[in-house]
Structure 1
Amino acid sequence: MRLWSGTTASGLATWALPFVLGLAVLHGAITAVDLGALLAARTVGFLAAVPVAGVLADRHSRRGVVLWSGLAGAVALPVTALALDRSTPLTALACAVAGAGQGACRPAFQALAAEVVDEAHRQRANAALSLAVRVTALAGPSLTTLAALVLGDRALLLCVGLLWLVAALVPGGGARADGGGTVPRGRPTRTGLLEEFAEGVREARRHPWFLAGLAALTAVIATGYSATGVALPLVSRDEYGSGAVLAGATTAYTAGALLGALLIARRRPRTQGWAALAGLAAYGFAPLSLMTHVHPIAVMTAYALAGLGIEWFNVPWFTATQREVAPDKLARVSSLDFLFSYGLAPAGLALIAPAIDTFGTGRVLAACAAVCFAAPALAALVPGTRHFSGRATRPSSSGPPTGSPT
């Protein structure tokens, strides 16, 4: 419960910062140009911290990395509040530090979960963590908007800082018998950060299923997520004449993800890897639904399927990584996961708008849908992806499949 509470607080804080900064634009505290600069600084901090944190979390205590990353966010947010409309460079620096805290906690939390939760219960634990993130994403905007009427932008930023303080202080430490995450006695002096990160890359290369799944996930996020972030608002405005479709599709996506997390917490498909990749491919229905003027219900249904599918992928993916990767390299491999899958998402967002201007909305959406369907299908051809495992048979630790006589 302490790990769940800390992870939930960090997820809520990560989501809340850009939303609160967006409210600051509406209230006139900063301009849209300032917002772009602040979000860019946050992204740079995130990308810079992820690989370093992966090395440190394997070299030292995962709990310690969670502590310091949370404290970084807790300190950065009050600075952001104080400098918000006074100094854009100082605000950008504070946002970069907050982004670094967000990036650093991701691989550390992922590895810490493997220490705290025994293998037989990790899939349900990962589903519970995903469920918490989706609930906050669903309820957060309305609650934050209501709070903004009473507290104001600076007070909201201080509240986000308190969330980071919770993320830093609440989680308990893990304890693994193999001693992973600490420096074993008698081991030769460690090499630099770059060489240790390269060790994590070599560990990832030992698992072809991981590389294939990561490539598919990166492709889907870079195209499907970009279509959601850029094309959906445009289509909602131009084709349907209001923001109702945008709001409905976003809500349906989160509701589908909630349902997906609930389902995957209880089910164990026989071919879990292939089932997960099929769920990932369901994201293709989102850009597909935007290509023609269909009924708004069809768009919302497509986004609900995309949300359900992404959780049907995420939970087995995290669980398999925790199971298959060497414990003393888990944080580095997890940092590689976050670095590519979510780190490259801004590139897709930056490219899709010029692509729409050049080739047209329909062609770009068709290409995005094709990538979302094709990338997981190609990944499924790689050895080991059937069960997300390098073993010849289905891992027994994942539990019996639903309906099994076991």
Structure 2
Amino acid sequence: MAAPGSSTLDAVAADTARSVLRDTAFLRLWAGSTASGLATWAMPFVIGLAVLHDTITPAALGLVLGVRTVGFLAAVPIGGVLADRLSRRAVVRWSGLAAALASPVLAAGLGRSVALMAVAAAVVGAGQGACRPAFQALTAEVVDPGRRQEANAAMTLAVRVTTLAGPALTAVLAAFLNVPVLLLGTGALWLAAALLPPPGSPAPAARGAGHRPGFVAEFTEGVREARRHPWFLGGLAALAAVITTGYSATGVLLPMISRDRYGTEAVLAAAVTAYAAGALLGALLIARLRPRSRGWAALAALACYGFAPLSLWAPVPALLVVAAYAVAGVGIELFNVPWFTATQREVEPRLLARVSSLDFMVSYGLAPVGLALIAPAADAFGAGPVLAVCTVACFLVPAAAALVPTARHFSRSAPA
């Protein structure tokens, strides 16, 4: 199993932080991961432009995006098993190529065949899902333990920059290029994601010969490894609670409250921008921060998401809503980066992709469930009670997770 973290390791990380962005192998990995993230974000936005141009209907958009999500969730566990069984780079390459080849098919079906678009979107979603745990495991292969926190911060920093700059860039490109060409551009991004990442270490499972168990048995082995780490289960429960309640409630109710309480959509735009900017700041901070009780610090940061539904629940000035979203953005990255780093450090290397797939299945899988349930709950009980429950859940569940054994340091062994 990977050696547990220690204060000495943290000192090494601080000493080597300056060199991680000068590592060619990491830069290739970072560029590939960034390309996949940009393609993932761009696809629904670009297809949304087709609705504005009356090329497809809103119902068709919903179907295509829903099928993409199904493909993503179905492929995440498969990608986790394959990435542990085979080369992590090979899984990234083939999943990226699948998404790249499906993107022109998606463009060809635009305005002609919703069924063809749905099939292509499912393949794109499968490529997205299969590559996520492989990228996570490949990071641990390419980057040495002392620099992984900086590497993970650089990864998430790219995501946040894309979130902030992506809409403006796409709007500019849309003034000169039509939607099919923009979809072909997402295919080019997936091609870059497939070809750029460097080779990592040989796949741990490939070193031994003999009979290999079936898919279910291998995935179950990953579940057993996750259960060996109480901090992982507690943190995953806290993340699930925040996503299902806080993230979903603010996503559904913020537009309505912006319109009805404040009389303008500007609050919605400002709050979403503040969240992305806060996350960007959080990624910059966590690249250098080394809290002694890193698990407790990360869970406390995750609980800060509760300020977002709290600001919508209470009739506060609009500026406080924006500030609450900025705090939530900072907190989510102060949790994410130590969480990814701890998983890479603590989980047995040959099982890392499978354990990471559990993380992605929960974090991505529960978001649509929460979004689907919040609106009916608000209609039945009112927005106020729903926001109150979400606020309490965001604050209390991470606090409860902090009481789990090994949660203080996100490690089965306390730092020396």
* Counterpart residue number, 2:75: 49
Q: Distance in 2 between matches of 1:303 and 1:208?
A: 30
Instruction: Answer yes or no: is 1:282 the counterpart of 2:304.
Output: yes
Between the aligned residues of both structures, percent identity stands at 68
Measured in 2, the distance between the counterparts of 1:318 and 1:307 equals 17
**Residue 183 in 1 paired to residue 190 in 2?**
no
1:382 matched to 2:408? The reply is no
Structure 1 residue runs without a partner (length 5+) = 397-406
Counterpart among 43, 46, 68 of residue 17 in structure 1 = 43
- Asked whether the 8 Å contact 1:77–1:157 carries over to 2, the reply is yes
Q: Does 1:93 align with 2:119?
A: yes
Distance 2:248 2:208 in 1: 47
Tell me the amino acid that sits aligned with residue 127 of structure 2.
G
CA shift, 1:22, in A, is: 1.2
What does residue 193 of structure 1 align with? 215
Distance 2:123 2:217 in 1: 25
Check the 8 A contact 1:47/1:339 in 2, yes or no: yes
Partner residue in 2 for 1:364: 386
- 1:257-285 per-residue CA deviation (whole Å, 9 max, x = no partner) reads 01100000001001000000001000000
Number of equivalences? 390
Give, in angstroms, the shift of residue 182 of structure 1.
4.2
Q: What letter corresponds to residue 379 of structure 1 in structure 2?
A: A
Query: What per-residue deviation string (whole Å, max 9, x for no partner) do you get for residues 318-361 of structure 1?
Result: 00000000000000000001001221110000000100100101
Q: 1:298-330: per-residue Cα shift (whole Å, max 9, x none)?
A: 011000000000000000000000000000000
> What whole-Å deviation, never above 9, does each CA across 1:148-203 have from its counterpart, x for those lacking one?
1110111110111110000000110112xxx54441243x2111111100000000
TM-score, structure 2 as length reference: 0.93
Whether 1:72 aligns to 2:94 is no
Match in the other structure for 1:344: 366
Aligned positions of 1:134-283 closer than 5 A: 134-175=160-201, 179-186=202-209, 188-283=210-305
In the other structure, the counterpart of 1:399 is none
RMSD of aligned alpha carbons: 0.9
User: Aligned residue for 1:401?
Assistant: none
Aligned residue for 1:30, secondary structure, equals: coil
Match of 1:402 in 2: none
Which of 32, 45, 65 is matched with 1:6 structurally? 32
In the other structure, the counterpart of 2:58 is: 32
Distance in 1 (CA, whole Å) between partners of 2:212 and 2:260 is 57
Contact 1:257 1:310 in 2 (8 A): yes
Matches within 5 A, 1:388-399: 388-391=410-413, 393-394=414-415
Q: Which amino acid aligns with 1:183?
A: A
Question: CA separation in 2, counterparts of 1:19 and 1:156?
Answer: 10
- TM-score by length of structure 1 reads 0.95
The 10-residue stretch of structure 1 (56-65 or 220-229) with the greater mean CA deviation from structure 2? 220-229
Is the Cα–Cα contact under 8 Å of residues 57 and 65 in structure 1 kept in the other structure? Answer: yes
CA distance in 2, matches of 1:25, 1:368: 32
Alignment partners' CA distance in 1, 2:174 and 2:349: 43
